[in-house]
Amino acid sequence: MTSEDLFAVTALNSWKLVVGRFDQSLAQLTDEQLQKQIAPGKNRLFYLVGHLTAVHDRMIPMLGIGERLHPELDETYIISPDKALPDPISAADLKKVWIEVNTRLTTAFETFRAADWLQRHEAVSEEDFAKDPSRNRLAVVLSRTNHLSFHSGQAVLAK
Amino acid sequence: MTSEDLFAVTALNSWKLVVGRFDQSLAQLTDEQLQKQIAPGKNRLFYLVGHLTAVHDRMIPMLGIGERLHPELDETYIISPDKALPDPISAADLKKVWIEVNTRLTTAFETFRAADWLQRHEAVSEEDFAKDPSRNRLAVVLSRTNHLSFHSGQAVLAK
């Protein structure tokens, strides 16, 4: 394995580890537990999972992998705060969609060669990317992995 | 910049971003706020900062950078749960030590060349590393960055 490939594998392992832990926690949550708030007056677990699913779904076009699978989640879980709108999806379906979106991403990441990770993502202009080539796909995946860790820390408090 | 260097820079940016955000939040916290719990019955912010500082201090020998700066924090903030022992450090000193430890780490990381990131860390045996070269320094830094994000998500709830 080349050094470049090893960098890519190490970063991908980090994504898979954090997503995998969240998969496991989510699978164990009952519908009732998903309605609990992470702390008094804070977001429900359900909202948090909807939010993470929508944010990850947005990564699909952002990383040039394909079309979004579930843009219908944005209005409730990105644009609006918790409880502003009724949940447009059941708990069972949300769990399925979380897996579907992340499987789509991880499957694509596993086909990436080292050079693919260092390509521009769609949210940065060619001009800005020329100035700062660290604004690449890898940066997006590391950022989203940290975002998931951030909310995972909150999710465990609801237990 | 070579591809390898770009991988290293992108990962280091992720570490610096997450640590930098935590630095800013911590600087704004009063002594009184640091005594607040992140949620009812959960860890105090003070404990959480002590825990993160001790965990990061442990990275110094683990990554072959040098000797630990503050091993005296382990008993209270790694081995024991919150409030089992009195805080052995003032809020002002804890804030200073957090900065000191992370400056030590980041300064060393900035001298790492791409190949340095892919070297074995001290917590994995040579035998295990030969089998799985992704157990390198980069993996430790990505893991600790996610650990910090995890607790950052909890820390914001105390506000």
Contact call for B138 and A18, based on CB within 8 A? no
The per-residue pLDDT for range B50-75, each reduced to its tens digit, is 999 999 999 999 999 999 999 999 99
Q: Which residues of B touch A143 (CB under 8 A)?
A: 14, 17
Mean pLDDT of B19-35: 97
**pLDDT surpassing 90 at residue A39:** yes
Of B13, B39, B153, the CB nearest to A139: B13
What pLDDT, on the 0 to 100 scale, is given for residue A1?
Answer: 84
The per-residue pLDDT for range A45-65, each reduced to its tens digit, is 999 999 999 999 999 999 999
Q: Looking at the complex, does the CB of residue A30 fall below 8 Å from at least one CB of chain B?
A: no
Q: With contact defined as beta carbons under 8 Å apart, do A73 and A89 qualify? A: yes
What pLDDT, on the 0 to 100 scale, is given for residue B1?
Answer: 84
Q: In the structure, what pLDDT confidence band is assigned to residue B138 with cuts at 50, 70 and 90?
A: very high
Q: Which residues partner with B120 through β-bridges?
A: B136
Contact call for A149 and B149, based on CB within 8 A? yes
ipTM score here?
A: 0.96
With 0.90 as the threshold, say if the pTM is over it. yes
Mean pLDDT of B107-129: 96
Cα distance from B104 to chain A (closest Cα, Å)?
A: 22
The per-residue pLDDT for range A64-93, each reduced to its tens digit, is 999 999 999 999 999 999 999 999 999 999
Show which of residues 129-148 on chain B sit within 8 Å of chain A, judged by CB atoms: 133-134, 136, 138-139, 142-143, 145-147
Q: From CA B142, how far away is CA B117, in angstroms rounded?
A: 11
Residues 6 or more apart in contact with residue B118 via CB below 8 angstroms: A3, A6, A7, A10, B133, B136, B137, B138
The per-residue pLDDT for range B82-114, each reduced to its tens digit, is 999 999 999 999 999 999 999 999 999 999 999
Q: From CA A33, how far away is CA A45, in angstroms rounded?
A: 8
Q: In the structure, what pLDDT confidence band is assigned to residue A159 with cuts at 50, 70 and 90?
A: confident
Q: Which residues of A touch B151 (CB under 8 A)?
A: 153
Of B14, B42, B152, the CB nearest to A150: B152
What pLDDT, on the 0 to 100 scale, is given for residue B159?
Answer: 77
How many Cβ pairs closer than 8 A exist between chain A and B? 112
Mean pLDDT score of chain B: 97
**pLDDT surpassing 90 at residue A150:** yes
What pLDDT, on the 0 to 100 scale, is given for residue A118?
Answer: 97
Contact call for B138 and A1, based on CB within 8 A? no
Half-sphere exposure of A63 (CA within 13 A, CB side): 26
Q: With contact defined as beta carbons under 8 Å apart, do A52 and A43 qualify? A: no
The proportion of chain A whose per-residue pLDDT surpasses 90, expressed as a percent, equals: 96
